[in-house]
Amino acid sequence: MGKGDVRTRRGKINRGTYGVSRPKKEKEKEKKGKAATDARGRGS
């Protein structure tokens, strides 16, 4: 379990791949973007 283990986060970073242990942030950015606009709307 380390850089050579593809199932761990560190192994995925080492290989440059994504998966369950290292999800891509594209989906999170969309959610955060919507949440941020909602938060701004409430704050105004």
Task: Tell me the pLDDT tens digit for each residue of 28-38.
Answer: 555 555 555 55
- The full set of domain ranges for the chain reads 9-43
18 vs 12: CA distance, rounded Å: 6
Average pLDDT estimate for 13-22 = 92
Query: Which residues are CB-neighbours of 3 under 8 A, at least 6 positions away?
Result: 10, 11, 14
Reply yes or no on whether the pLDDT at 21 is more than 80: yes
For residue 10, give both structure tokens: 């560190």
pTM above 0.75, yes or no: no
